[in-house]
A and B are shown apart, each in its own frame.
Chain A
Amino acid sequence: MFAISTLLDISVLTLLVIVALAMVRERDLFATVMLSGIYGLLSASFFVLMDAADVAFTEAAVGAGIFPLLMLTVLTSVGRYEAGERRVRILPLMLMLALAGALFAAVVQMPAFGAVDAPSHAHVAQRYIYDSPDEIGIPNMVTSVLASYRGFDTLGEVVVIFTAAVGVVVILLGGRPKTPQQSSQALMAEHKVLRIVGKMLIPLILLFGLYVQFHGEYGPGGGFQAGVIFAVGIILYAMLFGLSNAQRVVPLGVLRWLVALGVLIYGSVGLASLLAGGEYLNYSVLANDSVTGQHIGIIVIELGVGITVASAMVLIFFAFTRATRSRDELEE
């Protein structure tokens, strides 16, 4: 069993390097984005091989789903081919070779890959692994570290996502929309089969998102993953039935409120625990029994994370689509 996991590890990593080199050479940005989709899938498979189920979950939805999607949207506006000659630049190449040499020299000084006694496993990780099932009372250690032990850090991450979404909206929806440059065309009207199958899949995706949201304490999952999956469901609807229809379902104004609401929910849990006499984001004081308190706290803040992530992703997608599409298409 050990041998096969090493073999898979090495082959997946080799494929990753090959794909990355292919991306350097490729002049067609469209093909590069296709390759980056493959790159996302590969790195997610690698995370599965490294036992990082939750990370693989997120990378699957982000690296293989949303990242190529945003890139493609941008490509419809900036054009498909790179301009100019492709030449090897000597100075960056030399710099990179020097950097690679230095990093190689540093890397072989590290504890061997997979070493049980590596310093990074020695300190706080032991507590997370052996005490968290009793202290927090949930089996998924990644969720307990994310939501409880490092709750303050996660609050910061959620605020970053919120800020990025606000930034995208300000940058893209602030000015006037572009002048029309193409005829209006019924979106995906040619693909009746796709529309029908998509219509069948959307509820399943949303349901699966909810499952991931609330099952995150027991299996891989949680607010970040669920938010992205939920967003993907709504984005699928927007792609199949047009942006204006999707905006009728989730209007931009509502999304703007939701992005803020998630952060607010997260922050209020911290305030609630302050009021109950504990430290900020110390959920143990939320109920009589500390494990129950942790449960309540984690469910509520994961909900906040899910709401912010989902609405931020949808908001970003809507903003990009509006900025790259012409006016009459929006009003089809």
Chain B
Amino acid sequence: MILTVVAIALIVVMAMAIARAFLGPTIYDRILAVNLFGTKTVLLIAVVSYIFGRPDFLDIALIYALINFISVIAVLRFFEYGSDKVNEKVGEDG
């Protein structure tokens, strides 16, 4: 029952993160939203694996935790040190 509540809260926050990723306005907001979304996915998978009674799924949550970090690094790397075309309007986009 409580796990259900947690899962629903996670879904709601995921929706909020999607809204932020779409609204922007700066590129950093979008990166923040993706990062937030990734952490929530980790937690959702962990919670769902207990709702379904299959703790094998925890391996998946584990790999999400790693991938999420890597994608933040990737975005920062390509955004900061990419070509000038990417950097032309730092901060304000859209």
Contacts and interface: CB of A to CB of B under 8 A. Distances in A.
Interface residues of B, number: 56
A56 interface: yes
Interface string A127-166: 0000000000000000000000000000000000000000
A310 interface: no
Contacts of B77: 187-188, 239
Interface in B18-66: 18, 21-22, 24, 27, 30-31, 33-34, 37-38, 41, 44-45, 48-49, 51-52, 54, 56-57, 59-60, 62-64, 66
A8 interface: yes
B37 to A, nearest CB: 5
B67 A64 contact: yes
A142 B57 CA distance: 14
B39 to A, nearest CB: 10
A4 B7 contact: yes
Interface string A12-28: 10010011001000111
Given A61-B67, A182-B84, A220 B21 contact: no
Given A45-B41, A60-B63, A79-B86, A236 B70 contact: yes
A254 interface: no
Closest 7 CB pairs of A and B: A76-B82, A79-B85, A72-B78, A65-B67, A34-B30, A22-B22, A41-B41
